[in-house]
Chain A
Amino acid sequence: MTSESTKLIFVGLPSSGKSTFIAALWHVVMFEPLDGSLRLNKVEGNREYIEALHSSWIKCEPVSRTQGSSRQMITMGLKSVEAGPVITVVFPDLAGEIYDEQWRDRRWSQEYCNLVEGTTGVVLFLHAEHKYKPDMIADYASIIREDMPLDEEETAILPQYDPDKACKQVKMVELLQFHLAQLGQEHALRVAVVVSAWDLRQDINQIEGHDLTPEHFVEQEVPLLYQYLRANPEKVVSKVYGISAQGGDLETDKARLQDEIQHVNLIHVVSSDHISSDNFHDITEPLKWLMQ
């Protein structure tokens, strides 16, 4: 596979960190490239929107995601510093609502089909603080029985199944299955799994006294996806990254973050190649891996 044909697509449910990632990515490819990082070649779509995201990012303010009917689709052309081939990176919907719809309606529009045609790699977003496994009644019986005694439940109006209430890891695997089914790869599809807000997970790691790698996070917190990726090496080649695109909590750490002279240092990337997040800030690393 040559990089001339590299086309990557970003997939993730709402609030999984895609907007913050693109803001940080924009910063690296446009303003503070690092040795070996990708550079911007061109951008299509709502450039003003990206720049608005970036503006919030450099002020260390929350990067607000788009909601409602206006879908922000962005396409970037990136290249390595040696003026090599350009890769195309597509963000079909930064808000992620399109993926909720794909799960619920089990349908791709023709527009989306055209958009993903030729895709060679997927960046799959997870959020370090989201709940992906289902919570079972049996595991919380003592709490919920006290909260609602059995006789009260008999008269309560209880909700019925709604596809929106399916657990997140099921949605993630299904979205991946859709893409694998349609992309018709001659070779295994490359999937970079990005666990966003990784700094929040590392705080928990320190409190709990253990060292959880991004792979272990997926194994423990998103076990269905972890198994699916492991069980299908013929169809999927994957790598997991823990990425902090903000560098910290915007409420409690804002002063420290704003004090950083080189904002690129706020970005932290952890993977099996870069175990320590302290020294590695190249947010284009997952994209470079997908180019291989």
Chain B
Amino acid sequence: MCRQKSCNVAQDGLCAEGYNPVTLCREYIPAGEQIDEPDAEGIYLDTEKAAGITDDGSREPDGIFFSAEVVSGLEADNILRSSLTRLIVIAGSPDSGKTTLVASIYEAFNKGLFAESMFAGCGTFGGFEKRCFTARLVSERSIAETERTLAERTVRFLNISTRDNELAEPVQQMLFADISGEIYQNAQVNSEDAGMLRFVSRADHFVVIIDAGKLEDLSLRQTELASSISIIRSLLDEGFLRDDSYVDILFSRWDKAKASTEVEKIKRFVDHIKSKLHTDFAQKVGRLRFYEVAARPELSVEPPYESILPPLYNLSEVFQGWVNDSPLSKRIWFSSPTRSLSIDEVVEDRRQRRLQ
């Protein structure tokens, strides 16, 4: 039998992960061996809460814990293994707009359909609500903001499920991996931190955010370009990005760039970035796309308090690409992005088998 509930190897002899022979699968339990106690349904907040330990050390009555504010690496692993999932890894300098981008997509679904997709569920409502709080009236603020990701060496996952409006396709899980700015910066030069990004090899889309609002500053713009080159090169060197990887370069805060008195200079530099990245990497990755985006354009300081671009500028097209496209159907991929990889773990693509 198998520790994975979704695997029917005990009935049909086929491993859900595609291992052949099935004994290669680490979840496989030979006949006669003891099976571990299965996890309770739901996602645990943390291991102590899962054990029912309260803050004062006493034990809670038995119960069930649900969901997490953000999904841990292990839980992300489970989601990736258990269902059709898109992993979108978003990297960028601190305060480049990574969290605002994802939060804005979530807010779009709070209003209705977005990018021809319906909202189909969420495993991290608490995380999204916390990040969206300061953009809502209830926060008593007069300028919409996004709560800053804590400055720590972490990767946090946010989960949302979508489905096409016509119900022609099954529900699709989306996992957004928010790489902290610290890891982003260190991974460019530090192989240990680059190693923390091993899961990028499982990403359907690797996204680099370049803050277009900073490109007006001549002392900052070269750093933005250098950072984007460094992170892509570092991940290619580590083998986490490959010749079939899908890479998106998003120029965030495009409203600020458009509103700048130096907009033509900014556009020329953006063209330079595109040209440089295309020259360096277009032949080394599977796809390289560029978009100018504005997740939450700023409102004018004076009446009529309007923005120069509409909300979610260009993000509908970007998101549709994340939903519809993936390089993983073209490659043999590894069952878990968060564990060390070995030759024994090479498997047939689950999506190919699902389509058969």
Q: Which residues of A contact B (CB under 8 A)?
A: 106-110, 112-113, 133-138, 140-142, 144-145, 147-150, 153, 156, 158-161, 163, 165-167, 169-170, 173-174, 177-178, 181-182, 184, 223-224, 227-228, 230-233
Contacts and interface: CB of A to CB of B under 8 A. Distances in A.
Given A181-B41, A231-B121, 17 more contacts: A108-B64, A137-B144, A138-B307, A142-B305, A161-B129, A161-B133, A161-B147, A173-B121, A177-B66, A177-B122, A178-B66, A181-B66, A227-B112, A227-B119, A230-B118, A231-B120, A233-B167
Contacts of A110: 61-63
Given A113-B64, A232-B120, A135 B137 contact: yes
Given A106-B65, A136-B135, A228 B107 contact: no
A106 B126 contact: yes
21 contacts: A108-B64, A134-B107, A137-B137, A137-B141, A138-B311, A141-B299, A147-B142, A148-B140, A158-B141, A159-B140, A161-B139, A165-B133, A173-B122, A182-B41, A182-B64, A224-B119, A227-B112, A228-B119, A230-B167, A231-B163, A231-B171
A137 B110 CA distance: 14
Nearest to B145: A137
Nearest to A144: B142
A173 to B, nearest CB: 7
Contact of A107 (B63, B125, B126, B311): B63
Contacts of A174: 67, 122, 125
B136 interface: yes
B74 to A, nearest CB: 17
Q: What are the nearest 3 A-B pairs in CB distance? A: A231-B120, A141-B305, A135-B137
A134 B110 contact: yes
Q: Give the interface residue-count category, chain B.
A: 35 or more
B286 interface: no
Contacts of A150: 142-143, 301
Nearest to B132: A134
A149 B141 CA distance: 10
B305 A224 contact: no
A136 B171 contact: no
Given A142-B303, A145-B142, A231 B119 contact: yes
B118 A137 contact: no
A174 B126 CA distance: 10
A170 to B, nearest CB: 5
Contacts of A148: 140, 142
B136 A135 contact: yes
